[in-house]
Amino acid sequence: MKLHIGRQDDSANTLLRDDPKFASQKIAFFQYSAIAVFLFLITGFWDLQIRNPEMYQERALENSVKSIPVLAPRGKILDRDGRVIVDNHSSFSLYLSRENLKAEHLRPIAEGLNLDYESLVARVHRFQSRGAPQYEPIPIKEELTPGELAFVDSHKDASTFPELEVVRVQHRLYPRDGLAAHVIGYVGEISEAELDSPELARFHQGDIIGKDGIERQYNDQLMGVDGQKRVEVDSFGNERHVLDDKEAVSGKNLQLTIDLDLQAVAELTMENRRGAVVALDPRTGEVLAMVSRPAFDPNLFAGRIRSKDWKVLLDNPDHPLLNRAVQAQQAPGSTFKPIMALAGLESGVIDDSFHISCPGGATFYGRFFKCWGRHGTVGLHEGLVHSCDTFFYNVGNRLGIDRIAQYANMVGYGHKTGIDLPHEAEGLVPSSAWKIRNFRERWYPSETISVAIGQGATTVTPLQMAFAIGGMSIGGMWFQPHLVKDAVHLLPARRAEVNLENIAKVVSGMYGVVNEGGTGVRAHLPGVAVCGKTGTAQLASNTLLKGTAYGASHKDNAWFVGFAPCESPEIVVAALFENGEHGQLAAPIVRDVLKAYFDKKARLAQPQPQIARIPTGFLQPPPPLPATTAAVNP
Amino acid sequence: MPAHRSLRDFDWLMLILVCAICALGVLQIYSATRDTHFTEAWWKQGIWILAGFIALWIGTLIDYHTLLGQAYVFYGLAAATLAATFAIGMTAFGSRRWIGTSSYHIQVSEFVKLVIVLLVARYLSELKGDQLELRDLLKLAGLVGLPMALVMIQPDLGTALTYLPILGVGVFLAGFRWQYAAAIVVIVAVIAPISYWLVLKDYQRQRVVSFLDPSQDPKGSGYQVIQSKIAVGAGALWGRGVTKGTQTQGRFLPVSEKDFIFSAFAEEHGFVGVIVALGLYFLLLMQIVQNAQTASDKAGMYVCMGVAALLLFHVLVNVGMVVGRMPVTGIPLPLMSSGGSNIVAMFLMLGLVNNVRLRRFVN
């Protein structure tokens, strides 16, 4: 202090002490500058807070509010006994929340999660182009692995990829081996084309809907209602609080008429074969089993992004995706003969006394039609038992095409059965009117001859065959086939005025096929009166093509349709074994399914073994057994 | 202390303004750190403010002429400490600015501001003549330049730059030929682009780039500016309410209790709050300038104007950054931002201003 004052005194610096106001103008200048600075700052706030605060409020909202989908699990699909066929399993899916989606983030996200960048961009673009509401996030990956979850967790903060959002979802789980695959169908993400169709327009992009089978037919019932959760997040992507939470409503379970035991047996019988098996309860129309082979694994479709195996399935020449049970339209061959027999009896063109002689064929309208054997003198019963073509040529010739068509239509051929599955085929029953309509040509009587043995233009589906024969077997009542155990489907049967005695004659013939040394002896089942009929439908003229490469892939289709018990049928089974060469080879398929049905019935009918009750009132209740010991006893 | 320097002469208005600003700061620190690991920041800030009042008292007590007399001693000490910081200082966030341990440390460069104020006041008040000669200017610039360089290599460009307005305003007040000023402008215009490429570090260059175009760098300092602007804009006229700002509460705002505290404040208190807070700062600034005008000598005037220049610069750069009108330099908002060294240094300087005020009547 002394130093300082001393120096000032020594220097006698008058300016220092005497003229502090020398800079007052400059200080005023500073003040004006300060005012300018503050105005400059205030205009900055004015710009942001007064002129367009809405824009920034919206962006603050985009920052902090995230919509998280709450996906409703689909209903389970159960068999007739309540056993689960289709279940769900919990997994994690990755969504891009659109509130804070940045285009430049897509590449690193794609790289981090092993996604194809191009298709990710295309996917995001598709979702955005549809103008869906901002809050609907875009699903981009399913079934996240722990590694992928870790990647998401470490990158979802505000300054990296805030759009990442992991959602726990219920993923469809189908039987692994393709069991009942065609009946169940599969789910998938709704496609662009589907969104454009009026009946699916109510769905949103990204929705998982049933694409085929029961999943498609009963989609509205199985599909729940998705919820929506809006949360406020911080810059690290952590939830701060929930803004609103609409809970998901899960879909309803669906109980099928399918019996898993029967279905499993039917699947096994068709192992390594091409074709279909349909088992119906003719008394109700319930489908007990429905198999189409080759099958596919619906799990390959269950995701949003289908695996590459999907392409392989599409390109497979055997068409595994085709549900042959309702879509294969094939000539019924000799399985058509019971219907011919009924038509002949009902229309009166034949009776019990009607007999012909079979020397291995017959000539009609100047052309020789071959029989597959020489059967000598043949009446209705022998004609069915030995499947004599010559006999039915004659029946057909007497009936004429339009009466054949009339009875074929009566049993259900040529129409959809109305089963609750998509894409059912209707088959074909030729008639003179049909020919004029389609070929502008009259029907030639010679054409009737091959129709009489189930060849020519006639085609049926396996379901139609089981339906037709089953309805006939119970006296001319056709209950609509259905797959869902539901009172709504118990529609009154379509009845036809048929003489039951005539039916008895046909049934008796069909009994002979199996039990009297006929063509279907391989369907014989001890203790059960099985009736049936074989069918061998030609795809190509055997004499010309047998032995050639073409002939090998166009071997005759083998059919068998059978029902049991003979007098009061409970089950009817139709089997189509494509390129099986002879109907006899399809018979064991039907036999095995029938056996499974009656074995199970017998097992259930057995009285429960009586177990002696030990008075245990003096004992303490034992602790529950651990799970491992409980399973020891098979 | 002589009898005429009574409590009545104390700058009560300044004290009230300071208390009001500090209260807003503590409230905002509380709100911004509520959900974080720094929840204790608000009462720590309170303790620093109490420490600040003691510092203010000390700054008032010792005659500023005494302090000015030791200005070169302080200067030497400051330069030495800065050098020591560089050698043995604590590194955090990629910069060596602190002396001490991770829990107890001081940021030396904050206190150097005070030394620069004293240095400039002493140097300029001793000059004779109406105008500053170029030789004197260069000498003074060199004196200020040394600590600036030492701070810059920490690296802490923001704090280093805060020394410039003290020098600038001092030189302006001392009187300076406009030709010299023009020459300096030309030189700066030439040197600036060169130093942009040669002197600035990558992250600093990035900041310049992202100031000019924030969308260029949405994740770095550009991200900070964007988030800050969103926060400010979302506040609108009345603000979203204390602890209700999603930008602040969700930690979208970077360092919302320090450099970006005014952004958080603007979000939660709106334009009305901003006007009030900026009004308080303006009044405080005017009060300091008024003390400069009534100072009994040139030295006192220079001290007050140095502090005023520093405060104005801080407000301009920090608040300007918050609304995207200034680049991100990472300097705190005096009296509001959380941080001990800054608070205590600022209070010491306010103490100096009060010091000048109390000694305005020449006896």
Report B:182-241 residues touching A (Cβ under 8 A): 219, 223, 227, 229-237
Averaged pLDDT, B296-323 = 93
pLDDT at A67 over 50: yes
pLDDT at A156 over 60: yes
pLDDT number for residue A18: 44
Residue B247, both tokens:
């930008």
**Bond preceding residue A565 cis, omega within 30 of 0:** yes
| Minimal CA separation from A422 to chain B, in Å | 51
pLDDT at A485 over 90: no
Question: Contact B125/A49, CB-based, under 8 Å?
Answer: no
Whether the domain at A65-255 and the domain at A260-298+322-605 fall into the same CATH topology: no
Task: Judge: domain A65-255, CATH 3.90.1310.10.
Answer: yes
Interface test with B, best of A30, A40, A231 (most B CBs within 10 A): A30
pLDDT at A34 over 70: yes
Q: Are A286 and A485 in contact (CB under 8 A)?
A: yes
Averaged pLDDT, B178-186 = 81
CA A487 from centroid of its chain's CA atoms: 22
pLDDT at A4 over 70: no
Higher pLDDT, A113 or A303: A113
What is the spatial distance between Cα B323 and Cα B229, in angstroms, rounded to a whole number?
A: 6
pLDDT number for residue B308: 96
pLDDT at B156 over 60: yes
DSSP B156-201: -HHHHHHHHHHHHHHHHHH-B-HHHHHHHHHHHHHHHHHHHHHTS-
pLDDT at A302 over 60: yes
Top mean pLDDT of A64-73, A400-409, A538-547 is at: A400-409
Residue A365, both tokens:
């309208």
Enumerate the β-bridge partners of residue A70: A227
pLDDT number for residue B153: 81
pLDDT at A321 over 70: yes
Residue A164, both tokens:
């990442």
Higher pLDDT, A489 or B243: B243
Averaged pLDDT, A318-323 = 90
Report A:137-166 residues touching B (Cβ under 8 A): 158-160
What is the spatial distance between Cα B29 and Cα B276, in angstroms, rounded to a whole number?
A: 17
CB pairs under 8 A between A and B: 170
What is the spatial distance between Cα A556 and Cα A457, in angstroms, rounded to a whole number?
A: 15
pLDDT at B17 over 70: yes
What is the spatial distance between Cα B168 and Cα B164, in angstroms, rounded to a whole number?
A: 6
Q: What is the pLDDT of residues B313-331, one digit of tens each?
A: 999 999 999 998 888 888 8
Q: What is the pLDDT of residues A174-190, one digit of tens each?
A: 998 889 999 999 998 88
What is the spatial distance between Cα A223 and Cα A249, in angstroms, rounded to a whole number?
A: 9
Report B:244-273 residues touching A (Cβ under 8 A): 246-247, 249-252, 266-267, 270-271
Enumerate the β-bridge partners of residue A281: A286
Look at the alpha carbons of A573, A576, A577, A581 in this order and tell me if their dihedral is positive or negative.
positive
Chain A residues in contact with B275 by the CB 8 A cut-off are 42
DSSP A39-74: HHHHHHHIIIIIISHHHHHHHHHHHHEEEEEEPPPP
pLDDT number for residue A136: 74
Which residue in A5, A20, A59 is closest to B301 by CB distance?
A: A20
Taking residue B105's Cβ as centre, other Cβ atoms within 10 Å add up to 16
The amino acid occupying position A485 is K
pLDDT at A309 over 90: no
State chain B's mean pLDDT as an integer: 86
Q: Give the global pTM.
A: 0.70
What is the spatial distance between Cα A88 and Cα B343, in angstroms, rounded to a whole number?
A: 61
Q: What is the pLDDT of residues B212-251, one digit of tens each?
A: 666 555 556 677 888 899 999 998 899 888 888 888 888 8
pLDDT number for residue B180: 79
Which one of 3.40.710.10, 3.30.420.40, 2.60.120.620, 3.40.1190.20 gives the CATH number of domain A260-298+322-605? 3.40.710.10
Averaged pLDDT, B25-41 = 86
Share of chain B above pLDDT 70, in %: 92
Question: Contact A61/B246, CB-based, under 8 Å?
Answer: yes
What is the spatial distance between Cα A151 and Cα A195, in angstroms, rounded to a whole number?
A: 33
Report A:39-58 residues touching B (Cβ under 8 A): 40-42, 44-50, 52-53, 55-57
Helix (H) or strand (E) holding B90: strand B90-92
The amino acid occupying position B39 is T
Which residue in B235, B246, B281 is closest to A63 by CB distance?
A: B246
Averaged pLDDT, B286-293 = 93
Share of chain A above pLDDT 90, in %: 53
Averaged pLDDT, A394-412 = 95
State chain A's mean pLDDT as an integer: 86
| Minimal CA separation from A154 to chain B, in Å | 16
Enumerate the β-bridge partners of residue A66: A231
Q: What is the pLDDT of residues A588-632, one digit of tens each?
A: 999 999 999 999 999 998 887 777 776 666 666 656 655 544 444
Domain boundaries, chain A: 65-255, 260-298+322-605
Question: Contact A41/B323, CB-based, under 8 Å?
Answer: yes
Mapped onto helix, strand or coil, the DSSP state of residue A520 is coil
Chain A residues in contact with B249 by the CB 8 A cut-off are 234, 240
What is the spatial distance between Cα B121 and Cα B296, in angstroms, rounded to a whole number?
A: 14
B172 touches chain A (CB under 8 A): yes
pLDDT number for residue A511: 95
Residue B2, both tokens:
């002589």
What is the spatial distance between Cα A153 and Cα A166, in angstroms, rounded to a whole number?
A: 9
Enumerate the β-bridge partners of residue B43: none
